[in-house]
Amino acid sequence: MSSLFEPLTLRSLSIPNRAWMSPMCQYSAASDGPDAGVPTDWHFAHLAARSLGGVGLIMVESTAVSPDARISTTDLGLWNDRQVEMFSRVNHFLADQGTVPGVQLGHAGRKASTDAQWLGARPVPPHEGGWPVVGPTAEAVAPGYPVPAELTAEQIRGIVADFAAAARRALAAGFKVVEVHGAHGYLIHSFLSPHTNRRTDGYGGGFAGRARLALEIVEAVRGVWPDGLPVFFRTSATDWLTENPEDERTGWTVEDTIALTKELAARGVDLVDVSTGGLVPDAVIRTGPGYQVPFAEQVKRATGMPVATVGEITEPAQAERIVASGTADAVLLGRELLRDADWVRRAAVELGVEPAWPLQYGWAV
């Protein structure tokens, strides 16, 4: 029996295996007009192909909770009924193939209003179709990027409400898992890290103040999400600042992540999706096969919380070891699923498991 192909039950939801698709922005929605933020044929084909390939859970890319929460001008969103309608079409197909549809809800914060990644992710100013950016403090993410406006307490309350409203729409669209995006230097992460949060009010200062926004958003999402369905939280377990002895900056650490995870568990989060980095562009990150797995393991060992891990997981035997050892409860595949939409079915064969084939493909077995 392969551990990678054992179901995982969270609350009343059973996910058929532990090989999941990581949220990856496609930068393929319309930038304005009635179809802004709406899934397109590209999204349908992209997600459907991985579902047909046997992925147990597909986490749809970071989906903005409001128009000005988008990373790029061509990001997906869940702020209106048209978006709900088109997501419903996608999710109905995924569910029919046995894949659990999930969605990552996010706010880009000071990293918002850019071009698509392949265009250089350059800042798009308001006069070119972009919008003003916001953050915990008035500090740009990098030279050449706009200085964000420091959010007021009233604006923060509005963002919390936007997350709750987007979660309601996610449920209406047929998603079974909702993930709060608290990683990679976007709004929530920038509030968490002492390197980027220099506020002196109730949303800054020590750990409790810096974690306040994340916890308020989680409480708001959990409050509108059904008790029988799970809520995930994606975290950057480290900013990769204190991991580098030569870097004198103070950032978010794995010890902070462990403390946050305990608070998340108390508020009804069911799994922490452990990634790293993204806060500053010049952090020194030591990559390699499974380079983020040890961070997920530390969080799991210290808290008992179910965790998923991600980052240069490419081989079936590697993924199997991670899950079978109890290091993580699931693996999230990113670039490898872009290269090979049938990775999960291939992994099943390599691990001695009979893969589930769509009936329409049965004659090829």
β-pair partners for 106? 64
pLDDT at 106: 98
Structure-block tokens of residue 88: 């419903």
Q: What is the DSSP letter of 67?
A: G
Structure-block tokens of residue 149: 């406006």
pLDDT at 303: 98
Q: What is the DSSP letter of 324?
A: H
- On whether the CB atoms of residues 206 and 153 are closer than 8 A, the answer is no
- On whether the CB atoms of residues 28 and 42 are closer than 8 A, the answer is yes
Residues 57-79 have a mean pLDDT of: 97
Residues 341-352 have a mean pLDDT of: 96
Q: What share of the chain has pLDDT > 70, as a percent? A: 100
Question: What is the DSSP secondary-structure string of 32-61?
Answer: SSTTBT---HHHHHHHHHHHHTT-SEEEEE
- If 0-12 CB within 10 Å is exposed, 13-18 middle and 19+ buried, where does residue 207 land? middle
Cα separation, 141 vs 148, whole angstroms: 9
Cα separation, 346 vs 19, whole angstroms: 12
* Average pLDDT along the chain: 96
Structure-block tokens of residue 72: 């790029």
3-state secondary structure of 184: coil
Residues noted as catalytic: 186
pLDDT at 183: 98
pLDDT at 80: 97
Residues 147-166 have a mean pLDDT of: 98
Reply yes or no on whether the pLDDT at 348 is more than 80: yes
Per-domain boundaries in the chain: 21-304
- On whether the CB atoms of residues 268 and 222 are closer than 8 A, the answer is yes
Task: Give the type of residue at 302.
Answer: A
Indicate the pairing of strand 134-135 with strand 100-106.
unpaired
Tell me how far the alpha carbon of residue 268 is from its chain's centroid.
17
**R_g over Cα of the chain:** 19
Reply yes or no on whether the pLDDT at 98 is more than 90: yes
- The CATH class that applies to domain 21-304 reads alpha beta
pLDDT at 299: 98
Residue that is written with structure tokens 């061509």 in the block: 74
- On whether the CB atoms of residues 26 and 338 are closer than 8 A, the answer is no
Output the 3-class SS for 207-251: HHHHHHHHHHHHHHHHHHCCCCCCEEEEEECCCCCCCCCCCCCCC
Cα separation, 141 vs 281, whole angstroms: 8
Residue that is written with structure tokens 């009010």 in the block: 201
Cα separation, 169 vs 243, whole angstroms: 39
**In this predicted model, what pLDDT tens digit does every residue of 4-35 receive, in sequence order?**
999 999 999 999 999 999 999 999 999 999 99
Q: Where are the beta strands (DSSP E) in 65-185?
A: 100-106, 134-135, 149-150, 177-182
pLDDT at 365: 76
pTM of this structure: 0.96
